Amino acid sequence: MSEAGSAAINSAARQLNSGAALLALAVLADSAVEHYRGSFHNRAMYAPLASAALALGGSLAGMRDRRPARHPARDAIYAIAAVTGIAGFGFHAYNIGKRPGGFSWLNFFYAAPIGAPFALALAGLLGRGAERVREAPHSRRSASALGVPLHRLLAAVSATGLAGTVAEAALLHFRGAYHNPAMLLPVTVPPVAATCLAAATLAPSRRTRRLARWWLRLTAFLGFAGVGLHAYGISRNMGGWRNWSQNLLNGPPLPAPPSFTGLAVSGLATLSLIEELDRIA
């Protein structure tokens, strides 16, 4: 592979690291607030904070690392993050199931958010993918996992992650009765982006890639804009930001929307990989 091609793939790997960093940061901030609200009554509630902090540090280091080789420490950190996220889903499902009424709409609305831990798992999976991508141009092994080309698998992870995040937003915004029309944005824009990313992966062409890139960029912007909209929502609670110590706990969750940004950035990185591999082919 040419030096320019290796540089392009390394750049995509570092972009995947940045997507993982945004996801890890969102998990760290969100779980800190939510688990503090729960008084950390179960010591396992500290696990996602530690794991997300490690994933964030590893991702920031990966963003600056231009070496064409995976880093064993980052690889291990990302694996821990993925396992912690999957285990967190089990804990949250157990928390919902043990409540009166079990798996009911009321408990899905007000118990531990069922899909939230998957953001940490996604950070781990995308981070490990970044390490594999980084070494691909200089490895004798084919860039694949589970028998699937790595760029396709990472695109599938990003698209599926977007769909799952949309489902979580749809559930919680339905609880809020969509009283603000802007609450429809995270359940309309990201699904289009995920669909376009899937189309650009399965049927790559200049048109499908252009559409996917446009919608992913819009989704990335929406994630940052969502922080502002949630901040406005907090200001409307009694006491507004003067009563921040209580209203931050009441929500809407300020750190949640950037998960869309992290997944969109990762999706853009996979598009860069697809373009580079098509150019080489």
Predicted confidence (pLDDT) at residue 226 exceeds the cutoff of 90: yes
Type of residue at 267: G
Q: What residue segments make up the domains of the chain, in order of their start?
A: 3-280
The per-residue pLDDT for 143 is 62
User: Based on C-alpha coordinates, what's the Rg of the chain?
Assistant: 19
What confidence tens digit (pLDDT) does each residue in 6-45 have?
777 888 889 999 999 999 999 999 999 999 988 898 898 9
149 beta partners:
144
Please state, in angstroms and rounded to a whole number, the distance separating the CA atoms of residues 198 and 212: 8
Predicted confidence (pLDDT) at residue 203 exceeds the cutoff of 50: yes
What confidence tens digit (pLDDT) does each residue in 42-92 have?
898 999 999 999 999 999 999 998 887 788 899 999 999 999 999 999 999
Contact present, 116 and 168 (Cβ < 8 Å): yes
The per-residue pLDDT for 65 is 84
